[in-house]
Chains A and B, each alone.
Chain A
Amino acid sequence: MRIDVGIGEFKASRNAGDTLKTYGLGSCIALIIHSKQFGAGGLIHVALPDSSANPAKARTLPCYFADTGIPKVLQYIDCFGARKAFSYRVFGGASILDDNGHFDIGKRNLLTIKRMLWKAGYGIIHEDVGGTVSRTVALDIASGSVAVNYVETNKTKQGVQRA
């Protein structure tokens, strides 16, 4: 079954027949976790790095922000009691400046996620980030492979990565 993950959502599955999919990652980041050992995977679609910009939204949709969303992912992984059994991959983070042209939201999203994982003792094993492309990603729970669809201004290319 295909399970769509919207902006600011985190969804996970342990059903081998499931695919977790999220669409149109611009500056947003998808952090994908997967464990072959447990046959489990999850995908969070983070839009912004810091919840202090909108605490009310962070309360209703914590996974919209990296600083409130990543702990939800780690909480899920902790249910298995074996964080090391999971791999961490990131996609998205296209280079888009904020309204004031002050900072690159995609880069800031990526650095915040990396920082939070690092502080929790984990590293990202694969990243497909940056540039000016929009990415759609889908995680196959059974194999752990991630299909990435890129959309640039005038062209579309496809690729598949495997865990």
Chain B
Amino acid sequence: MEVIAERERTAVETTVMETFAEMAFLDVMPSNSKNEFGTSQGFAVNIAGNERLRCYLDMSIAAKHAVVENIHADAWTELSSEEIDDCLLEILNVLGGTLGRALWGEAVRCKLGFPEVVVMMPGRGDGVHVFDFDAEGEPLTVIMERRG
């Protein structure tokens, strides 16, 4: 399996922690546990810069609730499914852009695809890099896949 450089790991972890703190007031920390989400739907975005990456984001339902309710400052039940999806896709969008800058620097033009909802997430051991986090007691995982 491809080994990820320490600098890249730090870039991903810092980006995730800062993005969720700034946007959703959520304390997200790297975790040693291997998060499992069952059949939950995740989100993905393509990032192109010095290389092409696909970034996946998955989290528990409770973590989604926390993110969405914190950003909207409203209860989950008061929000439409479009508002909920937009919110989660937007945070992935910001995550993708910030990650590109953290990995390749300000000078590299980073091109983002449209963030999308995905049902099939890549598994561990599929040549991907998995970053597990703890979002105030709830599991949150970012998966990075290198593409050609």
Contacts and interface: CB of A to CB of B under 8 A. Distances in A.
- Give the interface SS of chain A, mostly helix, strand, loop or mixed: helix
Nearest to A120: B73
Interface string A103-133: 1100110011011001101000000000000
Chain A, interface size: which category?
10 to 19
A119 B70 contact: yes
B21 A118 contact: no
B73 A107 contact: no
Given A107-B21, A111-B21, A118 B27 contact: no
Contact count band on B: 10 to 19
Contact of A111 (B26, B69, B134): B26
Nearest to B17: A107
Contact of A121 (B26, B73, B134): B73
Given A107-B27, A111-B27, A115-B70, 18 more contacts: A102-B29, A103-B27, A103-B134, A104-B27, A104-B29, A108-B27, A108-B136, A111-B21, A111-B25, A111-B26, A112-B25, A115-B25, A115-B26, A118-B25, A118-B70, A119-B69, A119-B73, A121-B73
